[in-house]
Amino acid sequence: MREIKFGVIGCGLMGREFASAAARWMHLLDMPAKPVIVGVSDVNSSAMEWFATHHPGITTTTNYQDLLADPNIEAIYCAVPHNLHEQIYVDCIRAGKHLFAEKPFGIDLPAAQNIVEAVNQTPRVIVRCSSEFPFFPAAQRIAQMVTDGAFGQIIELKAGFCHSSDLDPNKPINWKRRAETNGEYGCMGDLGLHVLHLPLRFGFHPKNVRALLSNIFSTRPNSAGNPENCDTWDNAILCCESAQGFPMILETKRISPGDTDSWYINIFGTENSAEFSTKHPKTLRLMPYQPGGKQAWQEEDLGYQTAYPTITGHIFEFGFSDAILQMWASFIDELSGNKPKFQCATPEEALASHHLFTAALESQRTGQTVTIA
């Protein structure tokens, strides 16, 4: 099997998720290629120790330019704080490396625009952005239903990504809770592309937005236990009108009591409705409807019915790390020259999410509905 040599920039939470997915590549069946991590970079040397332990002989460097200068490295996975996206992504692209980027794909709209400009100037390089939840089997089924026109006329779409651990006021501050490193978007930048990936893929672009943003805790303890300014939006509710005219209610929340990591999408239509939440990871709720007929929701447990086939039997459960593996299978399939079974989020989709978040900030400032550029 062809090996695609990768460098990883940023050896934190998500860098390790990729390494774990690459390490269990044999889980996937019939893949044309596999990723092999040959070098890692992090400004914090200790963050690279885990990689060095699990990949003896791997290159470790505190200067990511060393990975970009390595001709053996074909592709980069970059998972660093948002204020570094623009510089490092553009450097990767200009160095001719395929790039698997992280959301939000730049700290703000100008940064995202500059990254997309670099992508457009370097067409031989493939750039995609991380968004794993659409690879859950039920989300894939909903995507197929949209393709098949199974909903009839769409009445409304609701989608969201809700976390809850920030309900604890004693949770220490980190870079994701500071506007300087996370961005002014706050929870929208951190969680929003996850929510928008499917609607945008369906062509359901928001035309305008009325945003309600909340900063619930304005301070959080730092590592010394002293209160520090926490200047990012905790929660966002975005009421949008889609290009098709139906309402889309999108939410990204860091303080949604009881929601550990709940990603959901609900589509209501005249002929069918569907609801899926990772709270119930194998259950798809459907309500097919015919005029005059019963309105009765059905539940179907989907099991492990994935875009990319694996060794796991179809009756077993699917989870977060499986979604990560499926997302990577899609990227590697695309790097191998194939049309992926479900394409990872594109630079254009990431840029569209920035237009929405930027309009949402203006809506919050003015209290008005803002047209999206």
- Least Å distance, CB 128 to ligand NAD, is 12
- Least Å distance, CB 81 to ligand NAD, is 6
- Least Å distance, CB 245 to ligand NAD, is 31
- Least Å distance, CB 309 to ligand NAD, is 23
- Least Å distance, CB 241 to ligand NAD, is 28
- Least Å distance, CB 247 to ligand NAD, is 27
Please identify, using beta-carbon distances, which residue of 111 and 286 lies nearer to ligand NAD: 111
Beta bridge partners of 284: 300
- Least Å distance, CB 299 to ligand NAD, is 26
- Least Å distance, CB 326 to ligand NAD, is 13
Please identify, using beta-carbon distances, which residue of 82 and 201 lies nearer to ligand NAD: 82
Please identify, using beta-carbon distances, which residue of 44 and 229 lies nearer to ligand NAD: 44
Please identify, using beta-carbon distances, which residue of 79 and 274 lies nearer to ligand NAD: 79
- Least Å distance, CB 89 to ligand NAD, is 10
Phi-psi domain of 203 (left: phi exceeds 0; alpha: psi -120 through 50; beta: other): left
Please identify, using beta-carbon distances, which residue of 79 and 162 lies nearer to ligand NAD: 79
Query: Do residues 186 and 213 make contact, with C-beta atoms less than 8 angstroms apart?
Result: yes
- Least Å distance, CB 127 to ligand NAD, is 14
Cα distance between residue 143 and residue 326, in whole Å? 15
Please identify, using beta-carbon distances, which residue of 93 and 154 lies nearer to ligand NAD: 93
Cα distance between residue 84 and residue 108, in whole Å? 11
Please identify, using beta-carbon distances, which residue of 13 and 296 lies nearer to ligand NAD: 13
The 3-class SS string of the chain reads CEEEEEEEECCCHHHHHHHHHHHCHHHECCCCEEEEEEEEECCCHHHHHHHHHHCCCCEEECCCHHHHCCCCCCEEEECCCHHHHHHHHHHHHHCCCEEEECCCCCCCHHHHHHHHHHHHHCCCCCEEECCCHHHCHHHHHHHHHHHCCCCCCEEEEEEEEECCHHHCCCCCCCHHHCHHHHCCCCHHHHHHHHHHHHHHHCCCCEEEEEEEEECCCCEEECCCCCEEECCCCCEEEEEEEECCCCEEEEEEECCCCCCCCEEEEEEEECCCEEEEECCCCCEEEECCCCCCCCCCCEEEECCCCCCCCECCCCCCCCCHHHHHHHHHHHHHHHHCCCCCCCCCECHHHHHHHHHHHHHHHHHHHHCCCEECC
Please identify, using beta-carbon distances, which residue of 43 and 237 lies nearer to ligand NAD: 43
Query: How far is the CA of 2 from the CAs of 30, 32, 36, 130, 333, in angstroms?
Result: 12, 7, 10, 23, 11
Please identify, using beta-carbon distances, which residue of 14 and 212 lies nearer to ligand NAD: 14
Please identify, using beta-carbon distances, which residue of 13 and 373 lies nearer to ligand NAD: 13
Residue nearest to ligand NAD (CB): 12
**Interface with ligand NAD by CB under 6 A: which residues?**
9-14, 41-44, 47, 64, 79-82, 84, 102-103, 130, 132, 190
